[in-house]
């Protein structure tokens, strides 16, 4: 044990960052802009209608948009919720 009282395993745990994830919505031919905006505002914390409209336009124009990124566990939840609402989702991306 080092002088700090931590074991090697403890120090390794502290150095490993918590896994992060990115939630990506894909363009499709069946969801309306309004539906995409409503779903994003309902499920993504802090999402404003204006930002949701920007993302909907990005999804339409570029084929996809990262709508949320952060801790993997939360990303999994948002990915599941958006998919359950009918949005077309890319596979959850770890980063």
pTM of full prediction above 0.85: no
**Domain regions of the chain by residue span:** 19-94
State the DSSP string of 5-49: S--HHHHHHHHSPPPEEEEEEEP-SS--HHHHHHHHHHHSTT--H
Predicted pLDDT at 14: 64
CA distance 7 to 1: 5
pLDDT in tens, the chain (95 residues): 455 566 666 666 567 788 999 999 999 999 999 999 999 999 999 999 999 999 999 999 999 999 999 999 999 999 999 999 999 999 999 99
User: What's the CA gap between 59 and 55, in Å, rounded?
Assistant: 6
Q: Which CATH architecture has domain 19-94?
A: 2-Layer Sandwich (3.30)
Q: How much is the pLDDT for 17?
A: 82
Sign of torsion over alpha carbons 65, 51, 73, 10: positive
Give, in degrees to the nearest 5, the angle at Cα 18 between 15 and 22. Answer: 140
DSSP structure string for 60-80: HHHSEEEEEEEEHHHHHHHHH
Confidence at residue 10, expressed as pLDDT on a 0 to 100 scale: 65
Give the model's pLDDT for residue 7: 67
């Amino acid at each position: 044990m080092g002088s700090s009282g931590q074991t090697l395993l403890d120090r390794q745990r502290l150095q490993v960052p918590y896994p992060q994830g990115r939630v990506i919505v894909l363009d499709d031919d069946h969801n309306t802009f309004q539906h995409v905006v409503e779903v994003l505002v309902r499920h993504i914390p802090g999402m404003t209608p204006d930002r949701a409209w920007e993302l909907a336009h990005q999804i339409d124009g570029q084929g996809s948009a990262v709508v949320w990124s952060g801790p993997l566990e939360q990303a999994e939840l948002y990915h599941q919720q958006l998919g359950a609402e009918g949005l077309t989702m890319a596979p959850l991306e770890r980063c």
